[in-house]
Structure 1
Amino acid sequence: MLDGKVVVVTGASGGVGRAVVRMLGDKGAKVALIARGETGLATAATEVGAEGGVAKVFPADVADHEQVDAAADSIERELGPIDVWINVAFSSVFAPFTEVEPAEYERTTAVTYLGYVWGTRAALLRMRPRNRGVIVQCGSALAYRGIPLQSAYCGAKHAIKGFTESVRTELLHDRSDVKITMVQLPAVNTPQFDWVLSRLRRHPQPVPPIFQPEVAAQAIVYAAEHPERREYWVGGSTAATIIGERLVPGLIDRYLGKTGVTSQQTKEKPPTGVANLWQPADENRDYGAHGGFDDRAKDRSVQVWLSQHRGLIAAGAGGAAAAALAVLATRR
């Protein structure tokens, strides 16, 4: 379904974005890669080509709306009309709220929230006159549940959810055929934890369950092909959190207040001292898609499987589906 389509991916040089562009290459898409780190972008473009797709690099800082709009112009001029726009780029600071400097908070918000706003705006300005196109927002379970040490990131992800819902209702009001959907991700094993600005005494780590970036990419690409659903989830933490909050209000707050700080740090490795908040970490070094937690990351997700096999389950294949889910739940 994406063969020959022009697909834009922000944050394409590393992590989830890197896994997404490789998968798009395998599907034969024309992939426009947006990020700041030119070494990471160049290697990612090579991988897209190796998978069978076409890739072009468009370096830009997504926090700057003029750069994003100029990149969109260049993409349409060089690759053709944009069919799909996937927002993945983000930045963050690992620290207690009062230890984050105002400028750092502004920068995180500009990249992680406004980057999605500017990407969505650039896409809609070009898609709406044609009355077609798909926008995929790479969200997070933290769009539903804030956790300690990540106030800037959690605030941005909550904002993206509200912003996307508002835009979706406007498109519905206009009876537009442009679709917008979100994919809410769990903890993912990406270089985020190697290059995030951190003021923690120990190396930051994702909160289990941890998934490989290819699992997230699979869900994101599927959402691009099937944008009729308003939201997709990867991993079960989001659903569990929502149910828990409704059944016992404040329980999750108390639990995270007790465990959330230590669970996001590891003694297994020292802090890297690298920070990509102001400058790209992959300008002169390629970090790839994976972080340093391969030994603990799952390469399958029950929620992704369910999203892709809803027809099978609805048709009454309950026994087969249950068996398949049991296998998936126990495999890494």
Structure 2
Amino acid sequence: MAAMAKRLDDKVVVITGASSGIGRATALEFARQGAVVILAARRMAALHEVAEACIGAGGRAMVVPTDVTDQQAVRHLADRAIEAFGGIDIWVNNAGVIAFGRFEDIPDDVFEQVLRTDLLGTVHGCRAVLPHFLDRGEGIVINTASMVSNIGQRYATPYTAAKFAVRGFSESLRQELVDEPGIHVCMVMPASIDTPLWRHAANYTGRALKPLTPVHPPEEVADAILSLARHPRRERFVGTEARIAAMGNTMAPHLTERALARNIERDMFQNRSAPATSGGVMTAMPEYQGASGGWIEPGQASGREQARQRVFSWTNLSLFLLPLVLASRPLSGRRMRPVW
């Protein structure tokens, strides 16, 4: 495992949700390191486009169209990778969809499909690869969670429920593997990322959506996933605001929930209406196949705009930190009440 942690060339990496967004960015980064990438998603044409880019980047690639909600399809994905390349070194559970709207407004079938994709897709991936890892005595699973695996998100109940469950599942599975030191279960928890996830989202809010500020490029998450592949550890945040929100929710959950709810109301919507849509939740959309969702314009994240986003980010984070600081300083001659 020491050698595998240091080198990624010729390692066999399975990535679900590889047709766009974080999955696509991650596949390209592994390919640049000389890895073999097995690309899985629902969209055949998009997967072939990613495969060509990976080969051009110096890696090898194989396309296996896969719906992660289908357990047999995911087992087939693992079998194809093992048959073609002799084994699997790293498995990235990344496939995900999202639905926005008040809990009572999200249709039952859409709600359940988010859970099937985001939670059961991760479970199916682990079921498919874990026997292989146990036989070999080594392997790395990297589950893509979210900052909302630590704190709730207004208007995103199915996604948040699934990501909380992914966190709990990962922690429980890690305990079951405590006597298997060569097998690692890692988790990456991104904040707001510029991916097509927002373009593919089911939307029942009545308003057009946008990612929360600040928006991070998908390559930041890809770098975090590669870091976990080289040096496995339990979890890794992407975006300081994700870590601070988790800390705030632990120390002062009531205040943190209220601050985040208000920030979402202010910052997650564009100034126009939008019709109700199931987006790409039930059926894959052909549009938006890139790693980026187009929320960061070329050059936007540098210079003045980058500074503005940092100020905006730290202003929002202060909403979490200030109550915690005040709560930790007792007033002279007065008994402090806990804030949580």
Q: Give me the TM-score of the superposition, normalised by structure 1.
A: 0.84
Conservation of the 8 A alpha-carbon contact between 2:205 and 2:276: no
Give the drift of 1:136: 0.6
Cα RMSD, aligned residues only? 2.0
Highest CA radius of gyration, 1 or 2?
2
| One of 274, 279, 282 as aligned partner of 1:278 | 282
The corresponding residue for 1:41 is 47
Q: Which amino acid aligns with 1:241?
A: A
Summarize deviations over 1:122-141 as a string: whole Å, max 9, x none.
11011111101111111111
Deviation readout 1:258-317 (Å, 9 max, x if unpaired): 3323421112796796711111113xx452110121146579xx9xxxxxxxxxxxxxxx
1:142 to 130, 144, 148: 148
Say which of 108, 133, 137 aligns to 2:139: 133
Asked if 1:245 corresponds to 2:249, the answer is yes
Aligned 1:1-332 pairs, distance under 5 A: 1-172=7-178, 174-227=179-232, 229-267=233-271, 275-282=279-286, 285=287, 287-295=289-297
Whole-angstrom distance in 2 between the partners of 1:82 and 1:275:
33
Q: CA deviation at 1:120?
A: 1.1
Shift of 1:85: 0.1
Q: Which runs of 5+ in 1 are unaligned?
A: 303-332
Cα distance change on mapping 1:297 and 1:64 into 2, 3 Å: farther
Give 5+ residue unaligned stretches, structure 2: 1-6, 311-340
Mark the CA change 1:246 to 1:76 in structure 2 (over 3 Å): closer, same or farther. closer
Rounded Cα–Cα distance in structure 1 between residues aligned with 2:65 and 2:96: 15
- Superimposed CA distance per residue, residues 57-102 of structure 1 (whole angstroms, 9 cap, x where no aligned partner): 0001001111100111111111220010001100111111111111
Q: Which residue of 1 aligns with 2:314?
A: none
Counterparts in 2 of 1:212 and 1:268: CA distance versus 1, 3 Å: farther
CA contact (8 A) 1:108 1:277 kept: yes
Counterpart amino acid of 1:161?
R
In 2, the alpha carbon distance for the partners of 1:246 and 1:89 equals: 28
Identity among equivalent positions (%) equals 32
Q: Which shifted more, 70-79 or 48-57?
A: 70-79
